[in-house]
Chain A
Amino acid sequence: QVTLKESGPALVEPTQTLTLTCTFSGFSLSTRGMRVSWIRQPPGKALEWLARVDWDDDKFYSTSLKTRLTISKDTSKNQVVLTMTNMDPVDTATYYCARTLFPEARVFWHDYWGQGTLVTVSS
């Protein structure tokens, strides 16, 4: 059974750095083909993909946010960590981690999602 769960602060102040942890079970990020993405959703708005880390430690970022994001994995702990610098109130959103499948070119989807964690940016 695949499960993912996000954890991190519910409130951060503007200009601070946000650190979120995704703890998962039911698969291993050391297994070829496994990947985990972070996706966010501002209140009442659409989903936005942020970043992805692959089993071989390849990392990919949203073009618009790449200067602010860092994704990493700890295979021994079954965790993926996302940091986002210089937080702003527009970054207020529910942040999800999701297992990501990419078995061949142009075939990329998120099959299991965490419950999400709401992060509010405010002073």
Chain B
Amino acid sequence: QSVLMQPPSVSGAPGQRVTVSCTGSVSDIGAGSDVHWYQQLPGTAPKLLIYRNTRRPSGVPDRFSGSKSGASASLAITGLQAEDEADYYCQSYDINLDASVFGGGTKLTVL
């Protein structure tokens, strides 16, 4: 069982907006640790999508955005495209374990 909680799946039609939630605890997100998001396309390694809650690495479209409030965070994807179909993982830092912690992953299906 993963430390951070994510819905197993979300879906949306092309052009729509979807959100993926990530819920932590008092020892990670709730302790003030930043949240980061990764996109994993089928058969490939994870790729950094959002870091420090809201920042996008160079090359990531502005259709992807992140937010954080309290012990939770969200990834929003607007203008859904078929190429966005992937698994999305949130990640944070557990201050008690001194460890990186991940969510269970959310599979995005573009209908």
Contact = CB atoms under 8 A, between A and B. Distances in A.
Interface stretch (A8-16, A41-49, A80-88): A41-49
A100 B44 CA distance: 19
B71 to A, nearest CB: 13
15 contacts: A37-B100, A46-B103, A46-B105, A47-B89, A52-B100, A60-B99, A106-B33, A107-B33, A107-B52, A108-B34, A108-B93, A109-B51, A109-B52, A109-B91, A110-B46
B45 A113 contact: yes
A42 to B, nearest CB: 12
Interface residues of B, number: 29
Interface in B56-98: 57, 89, 91-93, 95, 97-98
Given A106-B33, A109-B34, A111-B51, A49 B101 contact: yes
Interface of A: 37, 39, 46-49, 52, 60, 62-63, 96, 100, 105-116
Contacts, number: 69
Contacts of A96: 45-46
Given A96-B46, A106-B95, A107-B52, A47 B34 contact: no
B11 to A, nearest CB: 19
A107 B51 CA distance: 9
B45 A106 contact: no
Listed residue (B46, B92, B98, B104) with the most chain A CB atoms within 10 angstroms of its CB? B46
Contacts of A105: 95
A47 B31 CA distance: 22
A22 B44 CA distance: 17
B45 A48 contact: no
Contacts of A109: 34, 36, 48, 51-52, 91, 100
